[in-house]
Amino acid sequence: MLEARTVEADASGGRRGRLIVKRTCLRLALPAILMIAFSVSGYAQERMAPARGGGLEAKLEYCKTCHGLQGQGYLGYFPMPRLAGQQPEYIEAQLRAFIERRRSNPIMRNVAHVLSPSMVTALAQHFYNLNPPPLGGAPRGSIAAGKKIYEEGLPESNVPACSACCSAF
């Protein structure tokens, strides 16, 4: 019926006919636009599902999306921190900071706010036990220098010892 009125109005060539054509196009396009919008939203919700439900394995699958298969992190346009080998207390503190909104990152906020305290502990322990090779393959000679920075810092550059913060956990 709508189509017949549109054709009839177009035949008369009037302004009213053009308005009816525009309305018809909008009525036909609106459901398509909504369908696309909801399918994209549905995809995002589906992608977040492992973070909302399931056990440790489901959570780890979701973590791998950004932090790598072995928690090695990524360097690049959107760098992702390395979680592998990180102290469990540090990971737990960071996840709690996201949950409590003391640390701001919209993605991690959405991931962390559904984690129970026991899941936070389990994730932290899992990543602590991983030990993939370092990004870029640091030379072995750097181990002694790194240990010194960890224990003493770099006083000449006003960099405190890493151990000063790590022992606070």
Domains of the chain: 1-52 (no CATH), 55-137 (1.10.760.10), 138-169 (no CATH)
Per-residue model confidence (pLDDT) at position 46: 46
pLDDT of 79 above 90? no
In the predicted structure, residue 5 carries a pLDDT above the cut 90: no
Mean pLDDT of the chain: 76
Which has the higher per-residue pLDDT, 161 or 31?
161
| Residues 147-161, mean pLDDT to the nearest whole number | 88
**Residue 82 pLDDT greater than 60, yes or no:** yes
Q: What is the pTM of this model?
A: 0.51
Please check whether residue 19 is in contact with residue 27, taking contact to mean a CB–CB distance below 8 angstroms. Answer: no
